[in-house]
Structure 1
Amino acid sequence: MTEVVTKEELDEAFAMFYGMAASIKDLVSEPVEVSDEERVAAAKRVFLKGIDANLATQLEACVHCGACAQACQFYLGTEDPKYTPIHKLDLMKRVYDREMSPLSWIKKHVLKDITADDLRAQQELVYDACTMCGRCNMVCPAGINIADLVALNRSALSAARLMPDELRYMQEAQAEDGTIFGADEDLFMFRVQDLQDKLGFEIPVDKPKAEVLLLTSGLDIHLFRDATGGAIETLHHMGIDYTLRTDAYEGANFGLLAGHEPTKKMLTEKLTKVAIEIGAKIVIVPECGHSFPAMRWGAAESVGHSVPFTAMTVSEYFGKAVMEGRLKLEKSKEKRVVALHDPCKVGRGGGVFEEPRAILEAIGWELHETESNRAYNFCCGGGAGNFLIERADKLKRAGYRIKMAEIEKTEAQSLVVSCGSCRMNFEVGKVKAGDTLPVESLAAIIAAHLPKKEKAEGEAA
């Protein structure tokens, strides 16, 4: 693989990006003044609209066994009972009990109505102390989907204009021009040209028709250029009919993270319409955990009908190609022991487990699994936009420590990830904790092990 970014360049870019991310809170505009009554009314409208028969059954099903607490990094890292996952649904449960439950005619006289102060207190529980990783879902004996219910809580707080400042800034900026961290079309094309110069071949941009639409993200454009470069080099090597598009390159969706439904739908719809227009059969989302659910399950919803493409992650697409024999990788000259982090939305949510492991096996690296892996894998501790929230720093570190302790026990020489947000959180966590374990992109690893002879023949053709 042609080195698209050196370690020195990555370190410099990371320092710049970390400083930029840390300053987001100072850039937030003054919030629109909303009365407490309006906040409560807006939140309740979201709750009452979102609680259908299925969610009502789940809210009734909890027996307060406490199993979910043992699945949550934030509870395990702090041992504070307020971070028990099911407790994060108490406010919504109160609205349901008072206004929708079979005994609401009695309970409305017994339970107090929610207040704006209740909503403000809820911010920490559903934004700072929850990444909606879904690990608690796996252990709940009643089958309650706590992560989805937390997402509904985020939507209610968004409607009440009580998002954390950092996520509000990101959501509003992306709603305005479709970009994040200032990664506009000019910067996107600058990065494409830079990659083109380093890789030595023309990168297809704005093809009117293509089998595969490749997305990237502002995080990769600014920082993890090796991930985007790795995906591009591998697609080129395989001879895939693909394109990037200047009108549909940003895969991140801060509407989804912030709980702002209009922005979430708008961003997904924009990408979906371009994919349909060019006749794409596959949309490859970047190494970005939340872009995966936004497109995998949100595409059809955004346009109101089924879509003619499948959204896949980098690890899934190339992993399947390896498993099916369509992509051959060279064995590494280095015998390395590695740990693998399964991103929550991609792994636990999407079932993508064997594909990244097939890639590591193909290159001959020895995978040492963490004690909790695959569906029960711990979150990186900073997903769902949490890594940007300054006030959540102590909680993030507690979550990170739980995960890193398992990684350290593997005695791995490096950690392999396939999500930029996870990678960012591990890098920030390392800085805070003084850890030194290298964190590597799976996409970059794939490109580094493309067969040299076949690669040369493919380029000559």
Structure 2
Amino acid sequence: MINQDVFHGFLQAIHHLPEMAQPDALTDAERLGRAKAVMRAKTDRGLALDLEACVNCGYCSEACHFYQSTQDAKYSPSRKLDLLRRVHARETSAFAPLKRLFLPDITLDDLKEWQELVYDACTECGRCSMICPMGVNTARGVNVMREALFEAGLAPLELTAVAQEQAGRGTVFGVGPDELRQTVDLLRSQGITIPLDEPQADLMLVTTVIDVLLFQDALAATARILNHLGVRWTLRSAGFEAANFGLLSGSESLQKAASQRLIDEALAIGAKTVILPECGHAYPALRWEARLANGQPLPFEVLAASEFVGREITAGRLRLQPPEDPSRKITYHDACKLARHGGVVDEPRAALKALGMDLRETTPTAEQNWCCGGGAGVFLINRAEGLRHQAWEIKREQIDATGADTVVVSCGSCRLNVMAGAEADAWPTTIESVVEMVARQLPD
């Protein structure tokens, strides 16, 4: 069960994040120069094709939860790339000398205006790209814009504060190795075996600040599943934090540093598999974007917790008891970074079907499922609260239409945003996680 006092304490801590940030002391010219330098450097052939391919058809707006919930044209996904498109046209396109004659340069005021568009009003969910007839990868362009704004010292103070903390102190929201050990000790006192800092293991489990502080039941459930399977596994106190605020804020160097901590620990113990917690953005950060120092692919497999559990169930290695209430109606919310970006669609459903309950799909579902509105760090941006809640209402209506009494999630950020939305709306639907539901039906 979630401790509501801890949950509200976490929400209160978010409100104080801007006070912790240490903004860069830059001149206006330096900010603009840094941002444009990032845009130029990141505009490779693929991104240039995306920027030039857009035909302004507007289909992407139909797929965007921020546009659909507000009907405000400024939130159209294609518009979010306009500054990047202008810099490319003027400076890196084939017709740049001609374009500079009539296309105005971007300004610092433009950058400040776009901060809301690429941070507050975009979860990089990728739904717009799936509907785009030209296949434009808007999420990638938005990520480049975040990198440009971060280098210009214009990232939201909330994300800047946590990114600076993770880079400087190696903690997130004050959670480091000591806090992890305290949580491990607490779970051990409940009779759950949790190996910590084992020198060798086939499987390394990583967790996140959200699970250490709030969703300790999810960490306990994952441990129980691993113990039931009899695998040789461990947590490592020197590299356990899956949340990557370099990725969320737009700092490539901080993103790589956060991933490297996990990579170093996995290599040190000879892990064949790294299991990520129920954390959406941790998945692309480590599985798709992380590399060894020499640029080679990682020598171990990276799996999301729901992906791992689904595989084990499908392979017949993990069997579950029948449910106490087989008539219970459940639906599944696909985390954007897992389903749309990562293709993790079938595995969570295999786990949920094995529960033996009444699983009801949303419409649309799987890769086309609506985003909850809080991903990519948006949940931490205080000024985005109203906009985020409007986007959440689309998700709420989608869940309500299934008639389910429980929504199951596989991402801690989604879970936080759904919980906040449920509290604001007095929404009665139960919120569960995949690993917790599976662990509850493990054979004795």
TM-score, with length taken from structure 2: 0.98
CA distance change for structure 1 residues 302 and 444 in 2, over 3 Å: closer, same or farther?
Answer: farther
Counterpart for residue 19 of structure 1: 12
User: How far is 1:10 from its partner?
Assistant: 2.2
Counterpart Cα distance in 2 of 1:192 and 1:15:
23
Instruction: Provide Cα deviations, 1:382-408, integer angstroms capped at 9, x if missing partner.
Output: 100000101111110111001111001
Counterpart for residue 116 of structure 2: 124
Q: Aligned partner of 1:15: which letter? A: H
Q: Aligned partner of 2:152: which letter? A: A
Q: Determine if the alignment matches structure 1 residue 261 to structure 2 residue 252.
A: yes
Instruction: Provide Cα deviations, 1:306-362, integer angstroms capped at 9, x if missing partner.
Output: 221111000000100001101001110112101100100011111111111111111
Counterpart for residue 200 of structure 2: 209
Assess if the C-alpha contact under 8 Å between 2:192 and 2:223 holds in 1.
no
Counterpart Cα distance in 2 of 1:277 and 1:140:
43
Q: Determine if the alignment matches structure 1 residue 221 to structure 2 residue 233.
A: no
Tell me, what secondary structure is at the counterpart of 1:283? strand
Counterpart Cα distance in 2 of 1:357 and 1:257:
27
Assess if the C-alpha contact under 8 Å between 2:167 and 2:254 holds in 1.
yes
User: How far is 1:23 from its partner?
Assistant: 2.3
2:284 equivalent among 276, 293, 306: 293
Counterpart for residue 171 of structure 2: 179
Can you give the 5+ residue segments of structure 2 that lack an aligned partner in the other structure? Answer: none
Q: Determine if the alignment matches structure 1 residue 368 to structure 2 residue 360.
A: yes
Counterpart Cα distance in 2 of 1:140 and 1:86:
10
Assess if the C-alpha contact under 8 Å between 1:276 and 1:307 holds in 2.
no
Counterpart for residue 245 of structure 1: 236
Counterpart Cα distance in 2 of 1:245 and 1:73:
38
Counterpart Cα distance in 2 of 1:91 and 1:345:
25
2:264 equivalent among 273, 284, 304: 273
Counterpart for residue 385 of structure 2: 393
Counterpart Cα distance in 2 of 1:136 and 1:433:
27
Q: Determine if the alignment matches structure 1 residue 351 to structure 2 residue 343.
A: yes
Counterpart Cα distance in 1 of 2:62 and 2:24:
39
Counterpart Cα distance in 1 of 2:320 and 2:296:
38
TM-score, with length taken from structure 1: 0.94
CA distance change for structure 1 residues 56 and 393 in 2, over 3 Å: closer, same or farther?
Answer: same
Counterpart Cα distance in 2 of 1:375 and 1:44:
33
Q: How many residues align?
A: 443
Large movers: runs of 4+ above 4 Å = none
Instruction: Provide Cα deviations, 1:101-156, integer angstroms capped at 9, x if missing partner.
Output: 11111111211111111100010000000000000010000011000110000000
Counterpart Cα distance in 1 of 2:3 and 2:289:
33
Q: How does 1:404-423 map to 2 (within 5 A)?
A: 404-423=396-415
Assess if the C-alpha contact under 8 Å between 2:14 and 2:382 holds in 1.
no
User: How far is 1:436 from its partner?
Assistant: 2.2
Q: Aligned partner of 1:189: which letter? A: R
Q: Determine if the alignment matches structure 1 residue 115 to structure 2 residue 107.
A: yes
Counterpart Cα distance in 2 of 1:374 and 1:382:
18
2:315 equivalent among 313, 324, 342: 324
Assess if the C-alpha contact under 8 Å between 2:192 and 2:224 holds in 1.
no
Counterpart Cα distance in 2 of 1:305 and 1:222:
34
Tell me, what secondary structure is at the counterpart of 2:154? coil
Tell me, what secondary structure is at the counterpart of 1:439? strand
User: How far is 1:299 from its partner?
Assistant: 2.3
Counterpart Cα distance in 1 of 2:177 and 2:92:
47
Counterpart for residue 81 of structure 1: 73
Q: Aligned partner of 1:266: which letter? A: A
Q: Aligned partner of 1:14: which letter? A: F
Assess if the C-alpha contact under 8 Å between 1:360 and 1:366 holds in 2.
no
Counterpart for residue 4 of structure 1: none
Assess if the C-alpha contact under 8 Å between 2:21 and 2:164 holds in 1.
no
Tell me, what secondary structure is at the counterpart of 2:3? helix
RMSD, aligned CA: 1.1
Q: Aligned partner of 2:5: which letter? A: E
User: How far is 1:273 from its partner?
Assistant: 1.6
The sequence identity of aligned pairs, in percent, is: 44
Counterpart Cα distance in 1 of 2:240 and 2:74:
40
Q: Aligned partner of 1:273: which letter? A: D
Can you give the 5+ residue segments of structure 1 that lack an aligned partner in the other structure? Answer: 1-6, 453-461
Which shifted more, 130-139 or 297-306?
297-306
Counterpart Cα distance in 1 of 2:281 and 2:170:
16
Assess if the C-alpha contact under 8 Å between 2:21 and 2:158 holds in 1.
yes
